């Protein structure tokens, strides 16, 4: 999937893992993308989620879908409430609200939506506290969020998965590191107790020409070392530049399928944003495509 905005371009693919296909299991990853314009300011919200997949989390594909939908809504609301209002642009206030209020509000919305889904899907009404905790576990999921603004980059993560910043000089920065206290396949989750305190967040200045990559751990686990994963991320941008974004859009699902087949067989979801097109050319292309195809980007 390819989407263009005045901030740049987004490529995305979500692939059901080879092991999931073999065992007739659903894809438990999800992603969502949304562009919003308020008072002539543009923001791009990206979200990627990975349902846990263990039999104790048998409804995690629904939890992941709920998570990315609400993450986009929450990110857009944050943009509307803070960034688009000049009086709220104080840096410390914006950082504090994103760090503390965003995870708390999103977590509350996710829990409410999960219980509503359970009431409809499972006919469970008015569950007690013990039942609520068990239901939340069944829907458990990780979540990655990026809110891309004209001059700022707001990132959030709970659980495993990867967010990378890739710069024009080829350097790669991973803003968040795995918690060393978590062992093996253990991960934090939106269903974790006190989940809002388990988030990692960052408010960063955007750099010209940088790319932002969000992916579930099915992708990074396909590489033996972290450096190999970084090389893949760098090569993806090089291929976009060399072969055209439309060609890479068609090839990306095939590449992810091959990585899944050759390694753990896990689902893989990848969303990558880049702004390496000239803004004037991008606006022209958006306008031409809108006039000819009547499509909204």
Hey, what domains does the chain have and what are their CATH numbers? 2-292 (3.60.40.10)
pLDDT(213) > 90: yes
Residue range 54-71, pLDDT digits in tens:
788 999 999 999 999 999
Q: According to the model, what pLDDT value does residue 288 have? A: 38
How far apart (Å, rounded) are the C-alpha atoms in residues 104 and 196? 5
CA dihedral (170, 171, 174, 177) in degrees, to 10, reads 130
Tens of pLDDT, residue by residue over 78-125, are 888 876 666 655 667 888 889 999 999 999 999 999 999 999 999 988
* C-alpha radius of gyration, the chain, whole number: 19
Is 50 exceeded by the pLDDT of residue 281?
A: no
Q: 3-class DSSP state for residue 15?
A: strand
Does the structure show a pLDDT above 50 at 218? Answer: yes
State residue 153's pLDDT score. 94
- Burial code (b: 16+ CB inside 10 Å, e: under 16) for 133-156 equals eebbbbbbbbbbbbbbbeebbbbb
Quick one: pLDDT band at residue 150, thresholds 50, 70, 90? confident
């Amino acid at each position: 999937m390819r989407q263009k905005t005045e901030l740049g371009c987004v490529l995305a693919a979500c692939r059901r893992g080879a092991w999931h296909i073999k065992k007739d299991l659903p894809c438990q990853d999800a992603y969502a993308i949304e562009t919003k314009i308020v008072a002539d300011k543009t923001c791009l919200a990206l979200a990627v989620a990975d349902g846990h997949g263990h039999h104790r989390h048998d409804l995690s594909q629904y939890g992941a879908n709920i998570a990315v939908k609400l993450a986009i809504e929450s990110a857009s609301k944050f943009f509307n409430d803070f960034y688009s209002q000049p009086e709220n642009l104080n840096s410390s206030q914006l950082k504090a609200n994103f760090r503390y209020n965003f995870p708390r509000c999103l977590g509350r919305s996710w829990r409410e939506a999960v219980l509503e889904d359970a009431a409809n899907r499972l006919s469970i009404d008015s569950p007690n506290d013990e039942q609520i905790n068990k239901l939340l576990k069944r829907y458990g999921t990780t979540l990655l969020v990026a809110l891309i603004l004209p001059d700022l980059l707001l990132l959030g993560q709970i659980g495993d998965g990867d967010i990378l910043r890739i710069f024009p000089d080829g350097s790669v920065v991973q803003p968040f590191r795995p918690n060393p206290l978590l062992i093996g396949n253990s991960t934090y989750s939106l269903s974790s107790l006190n989940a809002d305190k388990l988030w990692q967040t960052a408010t960063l200045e955007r750099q010209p020409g940088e790319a932002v990559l969000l992916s579930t751990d099915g992708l990074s686990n396909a590489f033996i070392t972290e450096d190999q994963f970084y090389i893949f991320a760098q090569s993806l941008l090089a291929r976009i530049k060399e072969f055209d974004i439309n060609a890479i859009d068609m090839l990306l699902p095939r590449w992810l399928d091959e990585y899944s087949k050759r390694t753990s067989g896990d689902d893989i979801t990848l969303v990558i944003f880049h702004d390496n097109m000239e803004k004037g050319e991008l606006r022209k292309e958006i306008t031409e495509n809108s006039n000819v195809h009547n499509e909204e980007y």
